[in-house]
Structure 1
Amino acid sequence: MFLTQRGLRLLVKLLYAADHVPMDELKNELGVSARTIYYELKRVNDWLAFHQFDCVRHVRGSGFYIISEQQNRIKEMLPQLGDSEYGYTPLERRALDLLFILSQPAPVFVEDLIDLTDVSRNTVLEDIRLLKSELAKQGLTLDFKLSAGYFVAGVETAIRHEIHQWLNRIERLAEVNKLPIEIGQAYFPLSVACLKELLHTCETELHIEFADHTLESFSMELCFYFNRIQRGKYVNVTTEEMRTLQETDEFTAALRFMTRASKEAGISIPDEEAYFLSTLFLSAKRQKQAEAKQSQEHCLIRSIARNMIFEFERYACIVFQDRDKLEANLVVHLKPAYYRMKYHVDAVNELADSVKQAHPEVYEITKKVVHHLEKAACAPASENEIAFLAMHFGGWMKREGLQPVSRCSVLIVCAEGVGTSAIVKQQLIDLLGYVNVAGILTKREYGKLDSVAVDFVVATTPVEPKGKPVHVVHPIFSNHDKKTLLKYGEASNGHQEHITLAKVVAAVRKHATVYNEQALLSELKTILQAPHRQWKEEWKPVLNELLTEKTIFLHQTAQDWKEAIRKAAAPLLADGAIEARYVDAMIQSVEDNGPYIVITPGVAIPHSRPEAGVNRLGMSLATFKEGVRFSNKDTKPVKIVIVLAAIDSVTHLRALSQLTSLLGEPGAIDRLAEMTSTKEVVSLIQQFSTI
């Protein structure tokens, strides 16, 4: 009985789901139509029936599921699925072809690749053609000689980076034991288990803990690297890089690692390999970080974090209250990102597209501020790196003023690192409000527990329940994730709420006579119960919904910048969107922090915190014929003042992004400053107000 790769992914998704899985979620997960899902479900059901399991069930309005009584037995069968039951995708075939060619001591021919991937000769040749094109982009060539078979030529460091990339693309195969035996450990001088133990020793020496996902993939990568070393394929490191790396603790740990590995494998390892390994240690994602030393490198990265935060606040028109804590957390992420960029180790981020789709404004602002990191690393940031940073900023943007009251308790299990853990935690608090996060564990730490004393567990990777429900979620919560967690959070809250009210009534009985306990219980519930939080799509208005003819004043005059702010804010004040104290707060902010609100020559966007007097979201625009100076350093007087009254750190971002696009058009600022008709201004704004 045959299961395709897509069918196996579908089966695994249903087995590890915390609840019914709706059709839309399956379509998004697999990237196919509903018709294809039904086709794959039929094959999955045939496979289940063949092995005497019940078929996948469906509940209208909820989704698909596999009965819980059979889930564990089916999971036990997954690793034993034969190779004939798994059909590789084109991407997986190319990855397997490349890794096979790079790791085999004997010549590799077309016939070997046919046996490896179980496809026709023409399909293998097409895969090779595509692989040649992809490797050429990295400066590598895939050649063929009758005496040597297929081989990859190029700089060894670039070949190692390709091993890293292609292994990450097929990590799902390793998770369900679908790597072919030919890619197994037969040609590796050290096993995955042995290398993992050596990495554990390094974690202890460095006082760190690699992210679970990093540890697993790192161990497999090192198998391939040692295979290359055994066959005399060594990396080259420049003298300057050596000098820089020698000053790091990671280099010392890498030297010890190589000494132990050399002894275990019985092979000689050049010193350059320790330098290369230290770059991997430095660029690896970490779950726990050693206490930072005040080194030159640490000061540089802290400076990068500080500058990025300041500029992000400026572009987003927000002020982070807990800036020091944000800076400390950002430094933890920036250190490996800095080394990944510096040593050209590509970041693998499956969430990049989700981040860009779910938080486009945050992503675009992050893209603008990442130049501080790029300048220090002397390398451009990839979309994956920018998405990681956007996740950090996005996770902190809703922290302002949150004081959640503990109701239900939850444990977070995250394998992707400390930054992602913080984002998952913040999303939970934002979504449920009344939730006590009892702890954040790695998958390894969770696996050592016998039971958990919480209401439920939220995990970003499949884990076994330990007496409490487990909800497996995407690190950036999907709509289905949010609805599931809200539903469960409400159930948990209700239970604790009943206990709390009962205790209050019991205390009242001790000191007073209760004539109508039911009425007392009802009234106490009304008083104590917090407002019910329903999840809904975030409302983010477009630019022309905020800047209208009523909020645009042209060709004003002002004696100084303070008067300019007051005149620009007048429409919002008259409309009740802001209070007078908000105008004072904007002026005070400039006096305290300098003219940071001048975002580009000729344009200022004064703003302050929502609690300083904002009643509802608003924006107003005023132009000044003569212009005003916000400091003596201004080379160009400000002629356009746009007041922003934000209700939080997120809702205004779409309109602000559109405003930035408008102001970025060549000549737009001068043209806007000279316009004499509000209708003309509104017409221009309309062009940039797409939904």
Structure 2
Amino acid sequence: MDERSVHLLSHLTHAKEYVPIKEIIDKLQISRRTLYYDLQKTNDWLKDQDLEPIKNVRSLGLSLPEATKQKVPALLQEVDTQQYYFSEKERRNLLAVSLITTRSPLFLKDLMRKIKVSRGTTIHEVNKLKEEFASFQLHLHFQRTDGYIVEGDENQKRKALLYYLSHILAADGWNHLVNEIQVLLNGELNDSAYEIEKNTLSFIHEYFPFIEELVRDSVTKYGIQITDEMYQQLSLRLLIFSKRLLEGSTIHIEEEEKEVLCTTPEYEVATYISKRLESMFQVSFPEDEIAYLTMHLLGISIRVDQYEFDYNEVTENLKWIIEQMVFDFQRYACVFFQDSPKLKEDLLNHLKQTYYRLKYDLVIDNPLVKTIQQTYGEVFQLTKKVIHHLEDYIGKSLNEDEIGFLAMYFGGWLKREGTKPQARKRTMIVCGNGVSTSQLLQSQIENLLTTVDVVNILSLREFDEKAAYHVDFIVSTIPIKHTIPVFHVNPILTDIEKETLLNKFNLLIQRKTWSPRYSIPALMDIIQKHTTIVDEKKLKEELVQYFSTEKQTLSKGVKPVLQELLTEDMIQLQQTTMNWKTAIKLAAQPMLANGSVLDEYVEAMINNVIELGPYVVIAPKIAIPHARPEQGVKRMGMSLLTLKDGVLFEKSDNPVQLMIVLAAVDKESHLKALAQLSELLSNEKDVQRILAADNKQTVLELIARYSQN
């Protein structure tokens, strides 16, 4: 057994129906060939355990027999250490935790025994860890008498521990079995040992439920709102802090910083939690540790109710920063947020946490960042262009995890605005990844299932499997059970997952109104003639599922590249005009001529500048006039105009010589071409080439080059 095999079994254990091959490939990020290799290996292991193997049914996918599902979790927890092989990622995570927390010398042979690989592979992993530790300002070196030693500040050690333990103890529900195996193989569970002697993973495994209860009590008592994911994060941090204190490793906070932290509402919460931890572990929490815990609370809590959102200098600065970020995002994306006050309110709650995480250099992992970059690449890039306002204020750069969280807010709002679907079916979302994730998932569902309304969003803590919810089905990012049909999805849906969800929804509807093309009783008669039926009811259900589902596929959303919009007939060079109004009219002429926009659209662009100011001037010499799709756009388009002499917009002292008029049909279809245009306009030399060009071929060659990105 290895990590991929366990992930495969875990996923199928929680699946209620057949899982399409493409969905599993996307989920595990492997090739089809690798999946079939893993499938054979996993089925061999199941046969060794006298269990039915995984079924692979053409056009339906993979399924685990019910009897196997019932026994797999217990068997995985009893897996022989010699039967389990760590992945490279697992090896490095486990070595990192062991090296930072060891209380006895660790030599190469000890590390080899721990991860069960050769001397050469172990040395390779140690060298990789040296590089990773350097990013935490930690130094890993070898001493002949003491073995491998990790040197560095305690704050950096805790940061590294949080990073590696977060990857070992993943929060996703269907990864739970993998976590159990890793604790079992490395935790050396020994309840009779003193806390100080217990392996870190064993310590976490034993006390995690108690700490989660403490966190639940604390946030209820003080009215703190945090997401399910942050519950896990806070619980893990409390355990790391407690274990380090038990081992005599303490934090130091500067007196001036402590004085500031003592004035925050979160300090009272930290004091309460510390007292409870002191009682639980019989260890003293000094003031520096309470202040340190306060920093972490500031970085993960949404608000403290009784204080609302204290309007201090930081709050006012963040509000101004959000105004600039939203304004710039709308400029760069050429969109208008109709409900921007609500977006700004949500961003304010989020940026408060981001501010304190950056200020105190706190690590947070965004498990969705790669998916966000792949699925919403243009939104991610646009978000990167507007975060400098926050970075300049704090004096630190945002990493890709933090940018991903912000991109989810902007991406969610891009999708949710517009016409809401007619209320025919009702659903609710159960989500453990937070507000921004649930908003993004809501918009995806409402765009995909146009006859469905999302009527409620619950966290895993708020969800009660025995409660009566007045919905037709439930969409959950975490495996849950309920009498109402539950569709388990990822927070960000891939195309195959959208197709799967669409087909499941159609099947749910068809079960009530289905008029079959095939007679199930007749098929059952044929089957009975040639075989023994073990479960007649289940067989009928699966036959209905197979024959009733009209497989639907999604056509890819049309996102043209830059050269498909800026064609030769859309370009005008070295023109002369009186002022910015006539410049906009002139720039829009090619799109008026080919019917992409109406006259009303040109007037709307001019009126927007009069009402909102020169927001279309996005850089020196460059403007991108645009208006809302409903103000006269017939089809997506873009036109380019260069002027011999620049024109000044009102309230602007920056003459514009390059004008690109954009006509968007929605808030997303134009983003790929716009991202390519943005990259072109970021290159000053290429902008100068366009401004100096007196023939269209020069401009078209530049556009073609950037259209490849």
Give the aligned residue type for 2:478: T
SS for the counterpart of 2:641 is strand
- Hey, what does 2:674 align to over in structure 1? 656
Matched, 1:340 2:338: no
Q: CA deviation at 1:235?
A: 1.3
Q: Is the 8 A contact 2:579 2:647 kept in 1?
A: yes
Kindly report which structure 2 residues correspond to 1:385-534, keeping only aligned pairs within 5 A, or say none: 385-447=402-464, 449-450=466-467, 452-463=469-480, 465-492=481-508
SS for the counterpart of 2:706 is coil
- Hey, what does 2:632 align to over in structure 1? 613
Q: CA deviation at 1:557?
A: 2.2
Q: CA distance change for structure 1 residues 598 and 367 in 2, over 3 Å: closer, same or farther?
A: same
Give the aligned residue type for 1:89: S
- Hey, what does 1:251 align to over in structure 2? 267
| 1:44-69 deviations in Å (ceiling 9; x for gaps) | 11222233332111122232122346
Q: CA distance change for structure 1 residues 283 and 640 in 2, over 3 Å: closer, same or farther?
A: same
- Hey, what does 1:283 align to over in structure 2? 299
- Hey, what does 1:688 align to over in structure 2? 706
Q: CA distance change for structure 1 residues 60 and 472 in 2, over 3 Å: closer, same or farther?
A: same
- Residue 348 of structure 2, aligned match among 328, 331, 338: 331
SS for the counterpart of 1:619 is strand
- Residue 151 of structure 2, aligned match among 150, 153, 163: 153
- The farther-off stretch of 300-309 and 65-74 is 65-74
Q: CA distance change for structure 1 residues 439 and 260 in 2, over 3 Å: closer, same or farther?
A: same
- The farther-off stretch of 481-490 and 358-367 is 481-490
- In the aligned structure 1, how far is the partner of 2:356 from the partner of 2:456? 29
- Hey, what does 1:14 align to over in structure 2? 12
- Hey, what does 2:566 align to over in structure 1? 547
| 1:108-133 deviations in Å (ceiling 9; x for gaps) | 44454344334445544443332223
- In the aligned structure 1, how far is the partner of 2:484 from the partner of 2:298? 37
Give the aligned residue type for 1:56: I
Give the aligned residue type for 1:594: G
Q: Is the 8 A contact 2:618 2:624 kept in 1?
A: yes
Q: Is the 8 A contact 1:208 1:287 kept in 2?
A: yes
| 1:428-477 deviations in Å (ceiling 9; x for gaps) | 111112212232222222255355443222221222x2123322212110
- Structure 1: 5+ residue stretches without partners: 499-531
Matched, 1:200 2:216: yes
SS for the counterpart of 1:633 is coil
Q: Is the 8 A contact 2:614 2:652 kept in 1?
A: no
- Residue 40 of structure 2, aligned match among 39, 42, 49: 42
- In the aligned structure 1, how far is the partner of 2:323 from the partner of 2:114? 51
Give the aligned residue type for 1:651: S
| 1:193-213 deviations in Å (ceiling 9; x for gaps) | 332222122212331243223
Q: Is the 8 A contact 2:162 2:236 kept in 1?
A: no
Q: CA distance change for structure 1 residues 494 and 6 in 2, over 3 Å: closer, same or farther?
A: closer
Kindly report which structure 2 residues correspond to 1:193-232, keeping only aligned pairs within 5 A, or say none: 193-232=209-248
- In the aligned structure 1, how far is the partner of 2:424 from the partner of 2:553? 16
Q: Is the 8 A contact 2:6 2:177 kept in 1?
A: no
Q: Is the 8 A contact 1:398 1:648 kept in 2?
A: no
Q: Is the 8 A contact 1:395 1:426 kept in 2?
A: yes
Matched, 1:363 2:380: yes
Q: Is the 8 A contact 2:17 2:63 kept in 1?
A: yes
- Hey, what does 2:289 align to over in structure 1? 273
SS for the counterpart of 2:642 is strand
Q: Is the 8 A contact 1:413 1:446 kept in 2?
A: yes
| 1:554-596 deviations in Å (ceiling 9; x for gaps) | 2222221111111111111121111111111111100111001
SS for the counterpart of 1:553 is strand
Kindly report which structure 2 residues correspond to 1:66-215, keeping only aligned pairs within 5 A, or say none: 66-68=64-66, 70-145=68-143, 148-172=146-170, 175-176=177-178, 177-178=180-181, 179=183, 180-182=185-187, 188=195, 191-215=207-231
| 1:594-642 deviations in Å (ceiling 9; x for gaps) | 001011111111100000111110111122212210035314x111111
- Residue 241 of structure 1, aligned match among 257, 270, 290: 257
Structure 1 length-normalised TM = 0.89
Give the aligned residue type for 1:241: E
- In the aligned structure 1, how far is the partner of 2:80 from the partner of 2:237? 25
- In the aligned structure 2, how far is the partner of 1:174 from the partner of 1:496? 35
Matched, 1:587 2:606: yes
- Hey, what does 2:544 align to over in structure 1? none
- Hey, what does 1:261 align to over in structure 2? 277
Q: Is the 8 A contact 1:407 1:493 kept in 2?
A: no
Q: Is the 8 A contact 2:686 2:702 kept in 1?
A: no
Q: Is the 8 A contact 1:163 1:221 kept in 2?
A: no
Q: Is the 8 A contact 2:130 2:139 kept in 1?
A: yes
- The farther-off stretch of 286-295 and 403-412 is 286-295
Q: Is the 8 A contact 1:211 1:287 kept in 2?
A: no
SS for the counterpart of 1:151 is strand
Kindly report which structure 2 residues correspond to 1:26-65, keeping only aligned pairs within 5 A, or say none: 26-65=24-63
- In the aligned structure 1, how far is the partner of 2:122 from the partner of 2:494? 37
Q: CA distance change for structure 1 residues 78 and 450 in 2, over 3 Å: closer, same or farther?
A: farther
SS for the counterpart of 1:32 is coil
- Structure 2: 5+ residue stretches without partners: 197-202, 515-550
- Hey, what does 2:689 align to over in structure 1? 671
Q: CA deviation at 1:389?
A: 1.0
- The farther-off stretch of 440-449 and 582-591 is 440-449
Q: Is the 8 A contact 1:103 1:224 kept in 2?
A: no
Query: How many percent identity over aligned positions?
Result: 36
Q: CA distance change for structure 1 residues 6 and 137 in 2, over 3 Å: closer, same or farther?
A: same
Q: CA distance change for structure 1 residues 376 and 161 in 2, over 3 Å: closer, same or farther?
A: same
Indicate the RMSD between aligned Cα atoms, in angstroms.
Answer: 2.6
Structure 2 length-normalised TM = 0.87
Give the aligned residue type for 2:699: V
Q: CA deviation at 1:93?
A: 2.0
Q: CA distance change for structure 1 residues 113 and 426 in 2, over 3 Å: closer, same or farther?
A: same
Q: Is the 8 A contact 2:614 2:651 kept in 1?
A: no
Q: Is the 8 A contact 1:621 1:642 kept in 2?
A: yes
| 1:294-347 deviations in Å (ceiling 9; x for gaps) | 233322222222221111001111110010111111222222222222211222
